[in-house]
């Protein structure tokens, strides 16, 4: 049987080292024994974690070359077709699909934690009306830690459960309130008779009617979008959640950090960036000109490309189908023609083919959100709500993993050698 080891020869010294391979990985700390002096062991240099596994995980599986995504082993296509967001969140968090009673209890617990302390409302009130709702969400979810100081007991299972219910339940409320604040509308309180997404639509759109009735097509479309965004293994925000959580801070503070990571245009902010790009292009006939600019290094085709997928993002395929259902109810989004033309040209262009750049989850999701009547500012917020389940699952897995430690990467120092302080009068 071949040995599960790697033999390394250090040509600087001629020494050989045998390093074990486990689950297709070597331990970076095993490289440390390879050294030329007492102080300096070999380190691996990997900005952006291009080929570094930061953890072992049992939550989400992605095969980027084949365009495969599975939550706890279940293909995303089956989950999107048959499950609901809350059932999916349970699966992601606890590893198995719930039985009937478990799902009822879980749904009850999520539904009955949706109200936020009135003082949080005052925090939201204090923001400028033009405040980006993602900034409001990041601030208010972080502020929740001050309302639940017991959340610091992160190694107590019961306490973690309580914060899990609160976080998954209150994120839509914070998001809904942030949206209403931006419009100067009165806050719409949670309605426990409605589903998770039905209630979210109620908190966004209820006007003077006594009872808000969500459109079932939009409610289900949003639920599927939430399923597709629930987790995506070690992405930038999950990494932020684990990294910040490794300091053993409470989960509200860690979720605020994860949401901040999601806000950026290369991650969850991409759906907003896609819409801005489509609007900037303006019409179908301007697409070739835009593609030419991208190929010339002037900006990127937003909603295209992915660190892991080198094939069509399986979530984008499902989203394209939902888009048709939503457009049937709300009318066709005129930007769709530009998006389809961009996709058509990009998928047949050598630049994109060579680099394996395909549409990702964000390419079409913004068009759907816009058709639902949501402003672009809300798009990353709509990503953060469902991703909260994934963040908590990643955080809990990290806490329970004996291998995990305070996240603290090394650096390769290339700065100045030691030198003496120069007084001001002697500086040039
Ligand atoms: N448009 C044009 N060129 C691109 C794009 C793009 N969207 N993405 C990558 N490239 C090119 C890039 O210029 C580089 O070319 P070259 O080899 O000539 O220098 C090559 O492809 C590799 O790019 P990279 O930046 O080294 O790859 P990465 O793995 O670091 O980037 C990415 C991944 C998602 C940051 C990038 O594809 C991108 O910026 N995409 C647009 C933003 C976007 O849609 N983000 C949402 C990601 S999906 C949602 C989520 O999970 O967060």
pLDDT in tens, 76-103: 999 999 999 999 999 999 999 999 999 9
Contact 213, 115 (CB under 8 A): no
pLDDT surpassing 80 at residue 172: yes
71 has which bridge partners? 60, 74
d(CA 291, CA 306) in angstroms, rounded, equals 18
Instruction: Please name the residue whose Cα sits nearest to atom 18 of ligand 1.
Output: 355
pLDDT greater than 90 at residue 312: no
> Model confidence at 307, in pLDDT bands (50, 70, 90)?
confident
CA-closest residue to ligand 1 atom 51: 267
- Which residue reads 């100067």 in tokens? 184
CA of 20 to the centre of ligand 1 (A): 33
Q: In what order do the strands lie in the sheet with 74-75?
A: 60-63, 68-71, 74-75
- Sign of the Cα torsion 290, 336, 356, 60 reads positive
Residue 300: CB within 6 Å of ligand 1?
yes
- Check residue 157 and give its pLDDT: 98
The secondary structure of residue 269, as a DSSP letter, is T
**Closest residue by CA, ligand 1 atom 52:** 267
Burial class (CB in 10 A: 0-12, 13-18, 19+), 420: exposed
Please state, rounded to an integer, the average pLDDT across all residues of the chain: 95
Dig out the tokens for 103 from the structure. Answer: 């799902």
Q: With CA atoms as reference, report the closest residue to 28 among 42, 8, 9, 13.
A: 42
Distance 307 CA to ligand 1 centre (A): 7
**Å from CA of 380 to ligand 1 middle:** 18
Active-site positions read: 267, 306, 362
Q: What is the pLDDT of residue 1?
A: 73
Extract the tokens encoding 96: 């198995």
- Using the atom order of ligand 1, give the atom closest to the CA of residue 355: 21
| CB-based contact 217:76 (threshold 8 Å) | no
Tokens of 26: 């070597």
Q: Is 301 in the pocket of ligand 1 (CB under 6 A)?
A: yes
Percent of the chain with pLDDT over 70: 100
The atom number, within ligand 1, closest to the CA of 303 reads 44
Q: State the average pLDDT over residues 355-359.
A: 93
Q: Determine the number of helices (DSSP H) and then strands (DSSP E) in the chain.
A: 17, 5
Q: Tell me what the mean pLDDT of segment 126-139 comes to.
A: 95
The whole-number average pLDDT for the span 263-286 is 91
Distance CA 53, CA 51 (A): 7
Question: How confident is the model over 216-244, as a mean pLDDT?
Answer: 97
| Rounded distance from Cα 223 to ligand 1 centre (Å) | 28
Does ligand 1 lie within 6 Å of residue 231's CB atom? no
CA proximity to 383, closest of 217, 232, 243, 241: 232
Residue 267 predicted with pLDDT over 90 = no
* 355 pocket-lining for ligand 1 (C-beta < 6 Å): yes
> Residue holding tokens 């094939």?
311
State the Cα–Cα distance between residues 92 and 58, nearest whole angstrom. Answer: 9
Ligand 1 near 357 CB (within 6 A): yes
Residue nearest to atom 27 of ligand 1 (CA): 307
Determine the pLDDT at residue 295: 94
For the CA of 232, the nearest atom of ligand 1: 51
Residue 256, pLDDT above cutoff 80: yes
If pLDDT is split at 50, 70 and 90, which confidence band does 270 have? Answer: confident
- Please give the pLDDT value at position 110: 98
Range name among 102-106, 171-175, 193-197, 309-313 with the lowest pLDDT average = 309-313
- In this predicted structure, what is the pLDDT of residue 269? 84
The model's pLDDT over 144-162, given as tens digits with 9 standing for 90+, comes to: 999 999 999 999 999 999 9
DSSP tag of 310: S
Which of 305, 355, 358 for a ligand 1 pocket mutation test, highest count of atoms within 8 Å of Cβ?
305
For ligand 1, atom 3: residue with the closest CA: 300
For residues 385-411, average pLDDT: 97
Q: What is the mean pLDDT of residues 283-294?
A: 95
User: Above 90 in pLDDT, residue 139?
Assistant: yes
> Which whole-number Å values give the CA distances from 105 to 102, 373, 390, in the listed order?
5, 33, 20
Measuring CA to CA, how many Å separate 257 from each of 43, 149, 321, 325? Answer: 28, 18, 32, 34
Element (H, E) at 322: helix 314-330
The span from the CA of 257 to the CA of 394, in Å, is 14
28-63: pLDDT as tens digits: 999 999 999 887 899 999 999 999 999 999 999 999
Residue at token pair 């009130």? 125
Q: Is the CB of 270 under 6 A from ligand 1?
A: yes
Planar angle of CA 349, 350, 352, nearest 5 degrees: 75
CA-CA-CA-CA dihedral for 366, 372, 374, 380, to nearest 10: -40
**159 burial type by CB count under 10 A (0-12 exposed, 13-18 middle, 19+ buried):** middle
What spacing in Å lies between the alpha carbon of 50 and ligand 1's midpoint? 13
Contacts of 47 (CB under 8 A, 6+ apart): none
Structure confidence at residue 401 (pLDDT): 97
For ligand 1, whether the C-beta of 239 sits within 6 Å is no
Cβ 319 under 6 angstroms from ligand 1 = no
The pLDDT score that the predictor gives to residue 37 is: 85
How many angstroms separate the CA atoms of 291 and 428, rounded?
A: 48
SS3 361: coil
Question: Which residues, 6 or more positions from 418, have their beta carbon under 8 angstroms from its beta carbon?
Answer: none
Establish whether residue 336 lines the binding site of ligand 1, counting it when its CB lies within 6 angstroms of any ligand atom. Answer: no
Alpha carbons 392 and 93: distance in angstroms, whole number? 7
Give the distance (Å) from ligand 1 centre to CA of residue 301.
Answer: 8
Nearest CA owner, ligand 1 atom 8? 305
The token pair that represents 320 in the structure block = 């394209």
pLDDT, residue 40, reads: 84
In angstroms, the CA 123 to CA 139 distance is 9
What is the percent of the chain where pLDDT is above 90? 90
Instruction: Decide if 307 contacts 353 (C-beta within 8 A).
Output: no
User: In this model, does residue 356 exceed pLDDT 90?
Assistant: yes
What number does the ligand 1 atom closest to the CA of 268 have? 52
């Amino acid at each position: 049987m071949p040995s599960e080891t790697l033999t390394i020869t250090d040509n600087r010294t001629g020494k050989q080292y045998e390093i074990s391979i486990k689950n297709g990985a070597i331990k970076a700390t095993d490289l440390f024994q390879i050294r030329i002096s007492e102080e300096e062991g070999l380190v691996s240099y990997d900005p952006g974690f291009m080929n570094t596994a930061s953890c072992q995980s049992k939550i989400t599986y992605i095969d980027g070359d084949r365009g495969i995504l599975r939550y706890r082993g279940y293909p995303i296509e089956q989950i999107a077709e048959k499950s609901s967001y809350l059932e999916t969140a349970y699966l992601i968090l606890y590893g198995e699909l719930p039985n009937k009673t478990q799902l009822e209890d879980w749904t009850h617990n999520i539904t009955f934690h949706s109200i936020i302390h009135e003082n949080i409302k005052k925090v939201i009130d204090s923001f400028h009306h033009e405040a980006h709702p993602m900034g409001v969400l990041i601030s208010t979810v972080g502020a929740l830690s001050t309302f639940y100081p017991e959340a610091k007991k992160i190694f107590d299972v019961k306490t973690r459960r309580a914060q899990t219910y609160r976080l998954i339940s209150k994120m839509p409320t914070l998001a809904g309130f942030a949206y209403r604040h931006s419009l100067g509308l009165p806050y719409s309180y949670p309605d426990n008779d409605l589903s998770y997404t039905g209630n979210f639509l109620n908190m966004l759109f209820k006007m003077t009617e006594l009872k808000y009735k969500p459109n079932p097509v939009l409610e289900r479309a949003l639920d599927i979008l939430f399923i597709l965004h629930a987790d995506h293994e070690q992405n930038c925000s999950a990494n932020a959640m684990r990294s910040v959580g490794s300091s053993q801070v409470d989960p509200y503070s860690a979720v605020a950090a994860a949401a901040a990571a999601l806000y950026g245009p290369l991650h969850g902010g991409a759906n907003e960036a896609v819409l801005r790009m489509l609007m900037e292009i303006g019409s179908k006939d301007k697409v070739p000109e835009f593609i030419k600019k991208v190929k010339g290094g002037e900006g990127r085709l937003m909603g295209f490309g992915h660190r892991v997928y080198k094939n069509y993002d399986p979530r984008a395929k499902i989203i394209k189908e939902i888009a048709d259902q939503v457009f049937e109810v709300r009318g066709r989004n005129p930007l769709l023609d530009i998006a389809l033309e961009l996709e058509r040209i990009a998928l047949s262009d050598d630049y994109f083919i060579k680099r394996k750049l395909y549409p990702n989850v964000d390419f079409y999701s913004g068009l759907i959100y816009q058709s639902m009547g949501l402003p672009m500012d809300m798009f990353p917020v709509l990503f953060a709500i469902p991703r909260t389940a994934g963040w908590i699952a990643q955080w809990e897995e990290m806490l329970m993993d004996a291998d995990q430690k305070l996240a603290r990467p090394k650096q390769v120092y290339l700065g100045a050698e030691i030198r003496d302080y120069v007084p001001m009068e002697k500086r040039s």
